[in-house]
Structure 1
Amino acid sequence: MPTDFTEVAENAIQHAANLAKAGEDEVVLLHIINSDTKSKLKKDGETQSDLENKLQNTADELNQKHGIKASYKVREGSIFSEIGDVAEEIGARLLVIGTHGVLGMQHITGSHILKVASTSPVPVIIVQSKGVNASGIKNIVFPIDSTAENKQLAVQAMNIAKMYDSTVHQFVTHSTDEFFNNTIGLNSGYATRLFNDNGVKTEITYQDPKGPGIGKQLVTYASGVNSDLISIMNEDRSLAEFFIGPENERIINNDEQIPVMVLNPMEGLFIYQSVLGKYGKE
Structure 2
Amino acid sequence: MRFLVATDFSEASDKALMSAVNLATLTNSEIVLLHIFEVSEIDKSAKKIIGSGFLNREIKNRLEQMVSEIEKNKSIKISYLTKEGELFDTMKNAVEETSSDILFIGTHGVHGVQHITGSFLAKTINMVDVPVWVVQKGSEICNFKNIYIYIDELFDNPVNPIIIDIAKKFNSSIHFNFTDSTSGFATKELISKIQSTLENSGINYTLSSLNGEDDMIKAFTQKATNTDSSLIILDRNQNEISTFIDVFNNKKCVEVLCLN
Tell me if 1:207 matches 2:210. Answer: yes
- Corresponding residue of 1:224: 226
The correspondence for 2:127, drawn from 109, 119, 122, is 119
How far is 1:231 from its partner?
0.8
- Corresponding residue of 1:269: none
The correspondence for 1:258, drawn from 236, 247, 254, is 254
- Could you tell me which amino acid in structure 2 is paired with residue 79 of structure 1? L
How far is 1:181 from its partner?
3.0
- Could you tell me which amino acid in structure 2 is paired with residue 11 of structure 1? K
- Could you tell me which amino acid in structure 2 is paired with residue 133 of structure 1? I
How far does the alpha carbon of each residue in 1:119-164 deviate from its partner, in whole angstroms, 9 at most, with x for none? Answer: 2222111010134434x222111022223x4316643321221222
SS for the counterpart of 1:184 is: helix
- Could you tell me which amino acid in structure 2 is paired with residue 165 of structure 1? N
Whole-angstrom CA distance in 2 between matches of 1:187 and 1:34 = 44
Q: Identity, % of aligned pairs?
A: 28
Any conservation in 1 of the 2:210–2:219 contact (CA below 8 Å)? yes
How far is 1:101 from its partner?
6.8
Mean Cα deviation higher: 84-93 or 248-257: 84-93
The correspondence for 1:189, drawn from 173, 188, 192, is 192
- Corresponding residue of 2:50: none
- Could you tell me which amino acid in structure 1 is paired with residue 163 of structure 2? A
- Could you tell me which amino acid in structure 1 is paired with residue 199 of structure 2? N
TM-score normalised by L of structure 1: 0.78
The correspondence for 1:96, drawn from 100, 104, 110, is 104
How far is 1:35 from its partner?
3.4
How far does the alpha carbon of each residue in 1:72-114 deviate from its partner, in whole angstroms, 9 at most, with x for none? Answer: 000111221222221222221211110127999xx97122112
Q: Which runs of 5+ in 2 are unaligned?
A: 47-53
Stretches of 4+ aligned residues off by more than 6 angstroms: 101-104
SS for the counterpart of 2:218 is: helix
SS for the counterpart of 1:73 is: strand
Any conservation in 1 of the 2:149–2:176 contact (CA below 8 Å)? yes
Q: Which runs of 5+ in 1 are unaligned?
A: 265-282
Structure of greater relative contact order (alpha carbons < 8 Å, 6+ residues apart): 2
How far does the alpha carbon of each residue in 1:184-207 deviate from its partner, in whole angstroms, 9 at most, with x for none? Answer: 232132123222243322112221
Any conservation in 1 of the 2:139–2:254 contact (CA below 8 Å)? no
Whole-angstrom CA distance in 1 between matches of 2:224 and 2:109 = 23
Any conservation in 2 of the 1:222–1:230 contact (CA below 8 Å)? yes
Whole-angstrom CA distance in 2 between matches of 1:102 and 1:32 = 24
Whole-angstrom CA distance in 1 between matches of 2:251 and 2:24 = 26
The correspondence for 2:33, drawn from 18, 29, 34, is 29
